[in-house]
Homo-oligomer: A and B are copies of this chain.
Amino acid sequence: MNENVFDDPRITAVGLLVEAHAGLTARFTAQYEEHDLSAVEFEVLMRLARSPGNQLRMTDLAAQTSLSTSGVTRVVDRMERDGLLRRRACPSDRRSSYAVVTPAGMQRLDETLPGHLRIIEQWFTGQLEPETLAAMLDGLRRVRDAVHPGATAGSTDQAPTDEPASAC
């Protein structure tokens, strides 16, 4: 193994992706904390808020986030305790339950989002000319489609409409 594998363009490419991601994540996290939210809590609020009725079954929520089902149980525990969410029994399947965003939860999200968008603009999209940004997003989209976040469970793109909302 050669010493200069470290200068391999593939290593460099991954390094850039990882560092850009880490840097942005750090900025996001700092801003979430101003509104007493963690990154997962923000993700959960976003996922629920964009779902019909501001609710999702626990399992579906897990599938749409970076969490396992037990992880979801616990975040929802905390967020329910803090009044951002509540559980609602599923009338047609007594095994299932919904996580529903409360008005307080929606308000918290509304307070957090403008700053979040501002940070994205400031440190990400606003750093690049429109055509560079477009090229980059094109590349990211193709990588994303290749690695398919279906398994890893994605984050914040528009929901793929080809997945049934598993009506309940």
**Chain A interface (Cβ < 8 Å from any Cβ of B):** 1, 5-27, 46, 49-50, 66, 109-110, 113, 117, 120-121, 123-125, 127-128, 132-133, 135-144, 146-149, 151-158
Contact = CB atoms under 8 A, between A and B. Distances in A.
A133 B143 CA distance: 10
Query: Which secondary structure dominates where chain A touches chain B?
Result: helix
B11 A140 contact: no
A13 B151 contact: no
B1 A154 contact: no
Contact of A124 (B14, B127, B158): B14
A140 B123 CA distance: 11
A121 B50 CA distance: 35
